[in-house]
A = this chain, B = another copy of it.
Amino acid sequence: MNPESHDPLARWRHLWPHRDNQTVFRETLGRLFDDYCRWHEHWQGPLSERPPADNRPLLRAIELLDDLSRRLQADSTPWPAPQYLAHMNADPLLPAGLAYFAAMLYNPNNVTPEAAPVTTTLEHELSDDFCRLFGFDPQQGWAHLTSGGHAANYEAIWIARNLQRVPFALAEGNNPQDDARLCNLPPREIVARLSHALENAPPERLRARIDALHDHPALRGGRILVASGRHYAWDKCADLLGLVLEPVEMDASMRIDIAALRERLFAHFKAAYPVVAVIATAGSSGEGSVDEIHRIVALRQECEERFGVSFFLHVDAAFGGYYRTLLQPLIDEDACTAPHVSGVLKPEVVEALQALCHADTITVDPHKCAGVPYPAGCLAIRDRRFSWAISSQTRYFRPSFSRHMEHGPHTLEGARPGAAAAAVWMAHRLSGLHRSGLGALLAGNALTATHLHHALNAQPAFLLDGVAHRFRSMFAPDLCIVNFCIHPAEQVVLNARRIELLSERMIGNAQLPGSGDEKLPWFSRNRVSLRDIMPDAVRRETDETDDTTVVRCCVMKPVSHDAFAAFLRNSLDRLFARIGGRET
């Protein structure tokens, strides 16, 4: 037996450039280009005469390209570096980039199959991939690519907001008592009513009735509820769609506080106040924390049983969605050498990822965790009939709700690069959306992050500016992001301002350009509230804010976790030395 088969990451190594595979990738790249040139020559026809003898424009093009390449080499952010841990960006798979390039040459636009016959077909295949990944029925749901997480989130909430108008458009008369009942109907009941209505009424007329309700008093001030540590995209989203963003308290794991959410929802339902959506996050951008989606699903069930009302559940899994590959077994499970999910993720995170199948819509970004270059976001929709609520081609969108919908009229965006579909398709096919494929890679990241968390807290005290200090990892990571700080070892009352200064000292030294030490780690910063994150440890001082800056560290490296954890410890040692720390 080949010893490499024990290492689930071994199969990945060929998909990044190495001295050994560069020649074969370079040859392939040349072949893709030659294919394109043949196609171009076939179609360009007799009108494209021989280029003129004056080849200065050609020389200028080559000069600009070489110049661009030099600048990129000199100053690009070094994603491939093991010491780069600052932002949520992995080094993309080289074949995904080559697939993007191959398709881009033919310039497909997936707005319509007429402008992209090949890559639209690939995007339809991806729709099935995403449905299966999240446990949606591919016969009933659908998924499509977007320019990124922002667009996917906007579209989801746009759908949720418009769905709320449907029951009012279908209701006869205007009874205020009805309004209270209608404004928070379960989404599945809304589409059931909609489907029924579409069998009996012309869609255009129904659509006009819905549009006319855009300012219905019973729906005014509709809310979206999301954890207070939200990404700023959610503030943009609420403003854009004319909704009220209601921040919900967080627990010490930086997840939405379910008790607080429950209390808020009950109050809204009792007051017949429109709740447009509850937004759960699977992988918050600052902390990588995963809201307890299973408990939100249970809460939804409770609301339906107690009040007969419900809410639209959107999960922003832009970052964490692909971690559900850890739950996807191989057919030949006995031969699988990848770690089992129970040894990688916390039980409640596993439950949360399992419960994704009960969400109404899910955002996931292939350009974050699937090794695909920008731009590649995705919105997955549990029931494709939801999209009727935003469709601008209702007349072609009969109750049958075709499985392969044209993208332009049924999504937020218009023109879109077919090349992105080719890149995601390539990454999915090569990595495999299961625990021995992409799951093994992500498991490695999560294990490394957990290791780093423990290592930081176990680090002995050290001297900084003559005073004993300690490291503190703020919480055990749900996925692969660690937040940590330095604070005086003896201080029981944590001082937000002092923590902030020490964090900035670490981050600033870490990323010092031209420091001459390329081995220093690259970190980013995160703003947290000490009260959220360490409710017991903090005693407020007068006039002092709880908000502080901590060091944020995203572990997204295609290496086995024990080797990388050792490297990380060494890297941190260099940093301590740099900021003037030494052993006690």
Residues of A within 8 A of B (CB): 2, 4, 7, 10-22, 24-26, 28-41, 43-45, 47-58, 60-62, 64-66, 68-73, 75-84, 86-87, 89, 91-92, 95, 97-109, 114-118, 147-151, 154, 158, 162, 211, 214-215, 220-221, 232-233, 235-236, 239-242, 244, 365, 367, 373-375, 377, 390, 392-393, 408-409, 412-419, 422, 425-426, 429-430, 524, 557, 559, 563-564, 567
Residues of B within 8 A of A70 (CB): 35
Residues of B within 8 A of A409 (CB): 232
Known: A236-B412, A392-B236. A78 touches B43 (CB 8 A): yes
Query: Whole-angstrom distance from the CB of A97 to the nearest CB of chain B?
Result: 6
> Are B107 and A51 interface neighbours, CB within 8 A?
no
> Are B374 and A65 interface neighbours, CB within 8 A?
no
> Are B65 and A95 interface neighbours, CB within 8 A?
yes
> Are A390 and B14 interface neighbours, CB within 8 A?
no
Residue of B nearest to A154 (CB): B240
CA distance in complex: A14, B62 (Å): 11
> Are A76 and B14 interface neighbours, CB within 8 A?
no
> Are B76 and A108 interface neighbours, CB within 8 A?
yes
Residue of B nearest to A112 (CB): B87
CA distance in complex: A215, B80 (Å): 48
Q: List 24 A-B contacts (CB under 8 A).
A: A11-B52, A13-B52, A17-B37, A18-B50, A19-B41, A21-B55, A22-B34, A39-B72, A43-B80, A65-B102, A68-B103, A77-B115, A97-B104, A100-B101, A100-B104, A147-B375, A150-B414, A151-B413, A162-B239, A211-B239, A214-B239, A232-B392, A241-B242, A373-B417
Other than the known A64-B95, A374-B417, what 18 A-B pairs have Cβ atoms closer than 8 Å? A2-B54, A10-B52, A13-B52, A19-B41, A20-B50, A24-B58, A24-B62, A26-B30, A29-B29, A35-B69, A39-B72, A68-B103, A97-B105, A107-B373, A233-B414, A365-B415, A374-B419, A375-B417
Residues of B within 8 A of A56 (CB): 11
Query: Whole-angstrom distance from the CB of A356 to the nearest CB of chain B?
Result: 22
> Are A89 and B77 interface neighbours, CB within 8 A?
no
> Are A65 and B10 interface neighbours, CB within 8 A?
no
Residue of B nearest to A148 (CB): B415
Query: Whole-angstrom distance from the CB of A152 to the nearest CB of chain B?
Result: 10
Residue of B nearest to A233 (CB): B414
Query: Whole-angstrom distance from the CB of A5 to the nearest CB of chain B?
Result: 8
CA distance in complex: A98, B58 (Å): 13
> Are A86 and B114 interface neighbours, CB within 8 A?
yes
> Are B80 and A44 interface neighbours, CB within 8 A?
yes
Residues of B within 8 A of A92 (CB): 107
> Are B567 and A374 interface neighbours, CB within 8 A?
no
Most buried by B among A18, A244, A365: A18
> Are B14 and A118 interface neighbours, CB within 8 A?
no
Residues of B within 8 A of A61 (CB): 14-15, 95, 426, 430
Residues of B within 8 A of A76 (CB): 39, 106, 108, 117-118
> Are A114 and B100 interface neighbours, CB within 8 A?
no
> Are A47 and B563 interface neighbours, CB within 8 A?
yes
Residues of B within 8 A of A103 (CB): 68, 72
Residues of B within 8 A of A239 (CB): 158, 162, 211, 214, 390
Residue of B nearest to A78 (CB): B43
Residue of B nearest to A51 (CB): B13
Query: Whole-angstrom distance from the CB of A201 to the nearest CB of chain B?
Result: 20
> Are B559 and A48 interface neighbours, CB within 8 A?
yes
Residues of B within 8 A of A235 (CB): 392
Residue of B nearest to A84 (CB): B43
Most buried by B among A37, A40, A68, A563: A68
> Are B104 and A47 interface neighbours, CB within 8 A?
no
